[in-house]
Amino acid sequence: MGWLNIAANFLRDAMNSDEPSTPAQETTLIPSELSGIVGALNQHRAETERNFQAVAQMLHAQNERLLQAIKIQRRWNYGLTAALVIVTILAITAYMHAA
């Protein structure tokens, strides 16, 4: 019960505190003139575009690897099916000759 009382006291103190929380400090300074703001916005857009390009390239490469893996798996499936058919035929012919 001691831990529950401590937790309840912390919660009560947090709810009763009147101190406003401080906003997070920004690392970049926003210029006050309009041309500086437009330049910062254009830079942000260019960085965002580069990030989207990088993500698109990574997704494309991953998609190509998955398609290659599917092709290899399909070849294995065909090979295993053919081997199963051959073994079944051999088993049937061996059974016919033995009977």
Q: Tell me: the pLDDT tens digits for 59-74?
A: 999 999 999 999 999 9
Q: How many angstroms separate the CA atoms of 31 and 23, rounded?
A: 19
Judge whether residue 78 has pLDDT over 70.
yes
Please give the share of the chain, as a percent, with pLDDT higher than 70. 80
pLDDT reported for residue 20: 54
User: How many beta carbons lie within 10 A of that of residue 40, not counting itself?
Assistant: 14
Q: Is 81 helix (H, G, I), strand (E, B) or coil?
A: helix
Judge whether residue 42 has pLDDT over 80.
yes
The helix or strand, by DSSP H or E, that contains position 82, with its residue range, turns out to be helix 34-98
Q: Is 26 helix (H, G, I), strand (E, B) or coil?
A: coil
